[in-house]
A and B are shown apart, each in its own frame.
Chain A
Amino acid sequence: MSILAWTYIIVGLTFALYIGIAFFSRVSSTSGFYVAGQGVSPLANGMATAADWMSAASFISMAGLISFMGYTGAIYLMGWTGGYVLLALLLAPYLRKYGKYTVPEFVGDRYYSQAARLVAVFCAIFISFTYIAGQMRGVGIVFSRFLEVDVNTGVIAGMALVLLYATLGGMRGITYTQVAQYSVLIVAYLIPAVAISWKMTGNPIPQLGFGSKITEGPNAGMYLLQAIDAIHRDLGLPEYTAAFVAGKKGMIDVLAITMALMVGTAGLPHVLIRFYTVPSPRAARWSAVWALVFIGLLYTTAPAVATFARVNMIQTLHGASYADAPEWFTSWEKTGLIRFVDKDGDGIINYSGDESRNELVIDRDIIVLANPEIARLPAWVVALVAAGGLAAALSTAAGLLLVISSSISHDVVKSMLRPDMSERQELLLARWTAGVAVLVAGYFGINPPGFVAQVVAFAFGLAAASFFPILVLGVFSARTTKQGAIAGMLSGILFTAGYIIYFRFFNRGAGESEWLFGISPEGIGTVGMLLNFAVTTVVSWLTPRPPAQVQALVAEIRLPH
């Protein structure tokens, strides 16, 4: 059977599964819609969090990014997992103890201020839309490459599916489809990784394989990582495992980006809200354990995949004649993700660190998507990777959608505009806002703003600089006041947004020498976060203590039951 036929079958089956789950987890209350009735088990919530968190970028792009960055890829590996330590220790149990429905609602209650809540709503919606546009685009790309349909048709199919299960089942439907989606995506990620690890090193565990010796080809008998370093040296590229050498990011920047991604992860509303869905603070702690176990499974595999793919790609292509290029090369060439420019006209592919002699342009996304074909795995594995990519993108999109829907229906309409609304009306409104949000997200998926890649730094930077400090201080310092929190959030956001906008749009050519302390826009959220902490603390000391009922709330959420 062909790859195309397999893909239709596997993607069709997974979609049928998601729809079936959506049908069985319909909800009829706002508590069910916003927080799945707070009845999700820690294990299920851990899986759902992992799927919620791991997006099209984690599944499709991350291994490719690492493959080109070598050591520096650690900013994503540590940044996107280390945030869970902060989440589990500083936020998850307390937000669950607080026990209501949204992150802006906590901000509004803890800081006794609708203004603070409104700032939080704005940040939550901005962060979520930034993110969701990329997911919809990811759905469209997977559809177009594997199912050979138009990108737009793919986006519309994805929209229809998310629309169905998000509006029917709300958080409950999303949670259980995410559990299924995690299972699909992790199987799809591990099968090719294990097969390639086994083939190249004789060790089926990728986490160990990339520290083993190569068993075949020109570098047989050498440790994989030593071989890759040697290959890089020969090509005039910085060594793969070397840390802060020329051509890679500097130490300060690596520190700042890692910290910004960690803190940003812990401040992302669609991740925080997952911890509202479990029965108790204790269950929130255990779901964080499960979540990181499930995430870690993919995140410890990714750097191995990156290394295998790097060695494979260079060994297969560098110095090969273009006329004899493998079949996958020609089939992926059509998508424009890999290109050969014969600069010296000899028909031989030359890969080099020297731009004037390099003849091979490789898009990072190809590393995961084409991996099974490069390793000549069977057609059904290729189809499974397509289904995995779709699962990763759809699960994240659904989680983000719920944040947008609940922010508007619950935080803005119910609490600020129409407090007398009945529960049935609120539920109907929540379904409608989710529906409208899908359409807006789909629109951005079909007409992606040219700056999608640039604004991703925004999502993390803003989450780090706005939410994280005031949530942590809200729990750990009863003295933090409304004025402090608002001043802190605004200074964090304005500083971070200003810095990113300046260097992304007005002074794009600027390099390290012009950056503040050598920190790139990707890492500036760290400075924004510190600024927010400082401003919030100082302003809080200068303003009157929070009222007694707020201090009682703080005392209450600190206790386990």
Chain B
Amino acid sequence: MADRRVDEARYWRANLRILTLLLLIWFFTAFGLGILGVELLNRIQIAGFPLGFWFAQQGAIYIFILLIFVYACWMDRVDGRFRAD
């Protein structure tokens, strides 16, 4: 019983660590690259895109998809380890 409690706490802490990391990236992408830094990044041009504009209208969405994908994969592994314990 006590062991189970320890495992559960460890599982939750692992989850929180992953969450925090991914949400920081989420926040930085949307608000840092897409809004606060947009004018700075717009000075860089890649093909026909000003970079800040590209992040705001394209790049952010790709990164969001990637973040959820990474979370789903990562949690599958954490779930697996928890079940094995």
Q: Residues of A with Cβ closer than 8 Å to B?
A: 66, 71, 73-74, 77-78, 81-82, 84-86, 88-90, 93, 207, 210-213, 223-226, 241-244, 251, 254-255, 258-259, 262, 282, 285-286, 288-289, 292-293, 296, 299-300, 303, 555, 558-561
Complex partner residue of A286 from B22, B61, B72, CB under 8 angstroms:
B72
Nearest CB of chain A from residue B43's CB, rounded to whole Å? 12
The 22 listed contacts between A and B (C-beta, < 8 Å) are A77-B61, A85-B26, A85-B67, A89-B19, A89-B22, A89-B67, A223-B47, A223-B48, A225-B49, A241-B50, A243-B53, A243-B56, A244-B39, A255-B35, A282-B76, A286-B72, A289-B65, A289-B69, A292-B65, A296-B64, A560-B82, A560-B83
Compute how far the CA of A241 lies from the CA of B31 in the bound complex, rounded to whole angstroms. 17
Contact B48 A74 (CB under 8 A): no
Compute how far the CA of A251 lies from the CA of B83 in the bound complex, rounded to whole angstroms. 47
Contact B53 A296 (CB under 8 A): no
Given contacts A78-B60, A282-B79, contact A296 B65 (CB under 8 A): yes
Q: Residues of B with Cβ closer than 8 Å to A?
A: 8, 11-12, 15, 19, 22-23, 26, 30-31, 34-36, 38-39, 42, 46-50, 52-54, 56-58, 60-62, 64-65, 67-69, 71-72, 75-76, 79, 82-83
Compute how far the CA of A251 lies from the CA of B31 in the bound complex, rounded to whole angstroms. 10
Contact A243 B42 (CB under 8 A): yes
Compute how far the CA of A96 lies from the CA of B61 in the bound complex, rounded to whole angstroms. 25
Q: Write out the residue numbers on chain A whose beta carbons fall within 8 Å of the beta carbon of B82.
A: 559-560
Contact A251 B48 (CB under 8 A): no
Q: Write out the residue numbers on chain A whose beta carbons fall within 8 Å of the beta carbon of B30.
A: 78, 82, 258, 262
Compute how far the CA of A90 lies from the CA of B20 in the bound complex, rounded to whole angstroms. 10
Q: Write out the residue numbers on chain A whose beta carbons fall within 8 Å of the beta carbon of B53.
A: 71, 225, 241, 243
Chain B CB count within 10 A is highest, among A81, A224, A293, for: A81
Contact B61 A81 (CB under 8 A): yes
Q: Write out the residue numbers on chain B whose beta carbons fall within 8 Å of the beta carbon of A555.
A: 8
Q: Write out the residue numbers on chain A whose beta carbons fall within 8 Å of the beta carbon of B12.
A: 558
For the complex of A and B, the 3 pairs showing the least CB-CB separation, nearest first, are A223-B48, A74-B56, A211-B48
Compute how far the CA of A225 lies from the CA of B54 in the bound complex, rounded to whole angstroms. 11
Compute how far the CA of A27 lies from the CA of B12 in the bound complex, rounded to whole angstroms. 37
Q: Write out the residue numbers on chain A whose beta carbons fall within 8 Å of the beta carbon of B15.
A: 558
Contact B54 A211 (CB under 8 A): yes
Chain B CB count within 10 A is highest, among A88, A259, A293, for: A88
Contact A85 B68 (CB under 8 A): yes
Compute how far the CA of A242 lies from the CA of B36 in the bound complex, rounded to whole angstroms. 13
Smallest CB-CB separation from B69: which chain A residue? A289
Compute how far the CA of A299 lies from the CA of B58 in the bound complex, rounded to whole angstroms. 8
Given contacts A84-B64, A90-B19, contact A559 B83 (CB under 8 A): no
Q: Write out the residue numbers on chain A whose beta carbons fall within 8 Å of the beta carbon of B69.
A: 289
Contact A243 B39 (CB under 8 A): yes
Contact A85 B35 (CB under 8 A): no
Apart from A74-B56, A285-B75, A292-B65, 20 more pairs, CB < 8 Å: A66-B57, A77-B56, A78-B56, A81-B60, A81-B64, A82-B60, A85-B23, A89-B19, A212-B48, A223-B47, A241-B42, A243-B35, A243-B39, A255-B36, A282-B76, A288-B72, A289-B65, A292-B68, A293-B65, A296-B64
Nearest CB of chain A from residue B35's CB, rounded to whole Å? 6
Contact B22 A85 (CB under 8 A): yes
Q: Write out the residue numbers on chain B whose beta carbons fall within 8 Å of the beta carbon of A285.
A: 68, 71-72, 75
Nearest CB of chain A from residue B24's CB, rounded to whole Å? 11
Nearest CB of chain B from residue A8's CB, rounded to whole Å? 36
Smallest CB-CB separation from A79: which chain B residue? B30
Q: Write out the residue numbers on chain A whose beta carbons fall within 8 Å of the beta carbon of B47.
A: 211-212, 223
Smallest CB-CB separation from A240: which chain B residue? B53
Complex partner residue of B64 from A213, A242, A292, A558, CB under 8 angstroms:
A292
Complex partner residue of A78 from B42, B61, B71, CB under 8 angstroms:
B61
Compute how far the CA of A82 lies from the CA of B67 in the bound complex, rounded to whole angstroms. 10
Q: Write out the residue numbers on chain B whose beta carbons fall within 8 Å of the beta carbon of A74.
A: 34-35, 56-57, 60
Q: Write out the residue numbers on chain B whose beta carbons fall within 8 Å of the beta carbon of A286.
A: 72
Complex partner residue of A258 from B35, B62, B76, CB under 8 angstroms:
B35
Chain A CB count within 10 A is highest, among B52, B53, B60, for: B53
Contact B49 A211 (CB under 8 A): yes
Smallest CB-CB separation from A241: which chain B residue? B53
Given contacts A226-B48, A285-B72, contact A255 B19 (CB under 8 A): no
